[in-house]
Chains A and B, each alone.
Chain A
């Protein structure tokens, strides 16, 4: 597991050490794009862009899918993990809020019981 994470981190660093590849990720954060689109946007040959996308794909930062004759690039599973991690942090916030709310609710129930007995 540790080894796997280290390899993946190495790949990420390698992938992100290049300004064009960082640009590609920012671009794909806005919308999916074909390799041809990306090559044009970054003033590159198709072969050059294919190499960059390959490196990003290796690092799990981008996935590609062939649609007809066009290869479409989108953000990869690493980004999905980020979303899951965010949801889990959000869940933990609510969970700790609700743990406190449980205490308030228990106290209200206890008071109501005492008041109820007084009235009887």
Chain B
């Protein structure tokens, strides 16, 4: 698995992503802070908003509501104008400070994953593991890693390219 280290800053910790099984994706990262601090940054909306949407995503977070307790709901609304928005929402299944958060992702209907984030503190540092479990292989494939999906995407790109080439050749 390709888990190259980012070279932006020398002291930055490494982020890894791995497809653990047909239904699971796992992201890991260590933070130089105790678990309670990292947990706080995940569970207070005013802090969460500061990092969840990095500039490189090219998205604008319009609103962020988080009722962080078991059974509580969250809703994130993205978009540059009110008429063209993307929403992400779901329910917190488990909230155990400062070590564990579980929520559902319901915007995609029944195909959304369940996300589990664990915060494991060791010698003042926190190992964060984000685990996404999809209801089926097909659901994870549809999320973007799938061969069938990639084929369709490749076709779409080729179509565009062929149109361009055709236009320039005539």
Q: Are B155 and A91 in contact (CB under 8 A)?
A: no
Cβ of A5 to closest chain B Cβ, rounded Å: 14
How far apart sit A97 and B27, CA to CA, in the bound complex (Å)?
12
A-B CB pair tally, cutoff 8 Å: 114
Closest to B15 in A: A95
Q: Are B145 and A96 in contact (CB under 8 A)?
A: no
Write out the residue numbers on chain A whose beta carbons fall within 8 Å of the beta carbon of B50: 100, 103-104
Q: In this assembly, does B123 line the interface, its C-beta being within 8 Å of a C-beta of chain A?
A: no
Q: Are B57 and A108 in contact (CB under 8 A)?
A: no
Q: Are A96 and B2 in contact (CB under 8 A)?
A: no
Chain A residues numbered 80-120 whose CB sits less than 8 Å from any CB in chain B: 80, 82-84, 86-88, 90-106, 108-109, 112
Cβ of B129 to closest chain A Cβ, rounded Å: 12
Q: Are A79 and B151 in contact (CB under 8 A)?
A: yes
Write out the residue numbers on chain B whose beta carbons fall within 8 Å of the beta carbon of A12: 158
Cβ of A94 to closest chain B Cβ, rounded Å: 5
Tally of contact residues, B, Cβ under 8 A: 44
Q: In this assembly, does B137 line the interface, its C-beta being within 8 Å of a C-beta of chain A?
A: no
Q: Are B27 and A96 in contact (CB under 8 A)?
A: no
Q: In this assembly, does B70 line the interface, its C-beta being within 8 Å of a C-beta of chain A?
A: no
Cβ of A21 to closest chain B Cβ, rounded Å: 11
Write out the residue numbers on chain B whose beta carbons fall within 8 Å of the beta carbon of A73: none
Q: Are B150 and A105 in contact (CB under 8 A)?
A: no
Q: In this assembly, does B22 line the interface, its C-beta being within 8 Å of a C-beta of chain A?
A: no
Q: Are B33 and A108 in contact (CB under 8 A)?
A: yes
Cβ of B108 to closest chain A Cβ, rounded Å: 16
Q: In this assembly, does A26 line the interface, its C-beta being within 8 Å of a C-beta of chain B?
A: yes
Q: In this assembly, does B78 line the interface, its C-beta being within 8 Å of a C-beta of chain A?
A: no
Q: Are A13 and B158 in contact (CB under 8 A)?
A: yes
Q: Are A22 and B54 in contact (CB under 8 A)?
A: no
Q: Are A97 and B52 in contact (CB under 8 A)?
A: yes
Q: In this assembly, does B71 line the interface, its C-beta being within 8 Å of a C-beta of chain A?
A: no
Q: Could you give 21 example pairs across A and B, Cβ below 8 Å?
A: A16-B155, A25-B151, A25-B155, A26-B148, A29-B148, A78-B154, A83-B147, A86-B145, A87-B145, A88-B2, A88-B17, A90-B25, A93-B57, A94-B27, A96-B57, A97-B51, A98-B51, A100-B52, A100-B54, A102-B12, A109-B37
B residues near A (Cβ < 8 Å) are 2-3, 6, 8-9, 12-13, 15-19, 25, 27, 29, 31-33, 37-38, 40-41, 47, 50-54, 56-57, 130, 144-148, 150-155, 158, 162
A residues near B (Cβ < 8 Å) are 12-13, 16, 22, 25-26, 29-30, 75, 78-80, 82-84, 86-88, 90-106, 108-109, 112
A26-B148, A109-B33 known; 15 new pairs, CB 8 Å cut-off, are A16-B155, A16-B158, A82-B150, A82-B153, A82-B154, A83-B146, A84-B2, A91-B3, A91-B15, A91-B17, A92-B56, A93-B54, A102-B13, A109-B37, A112-B37
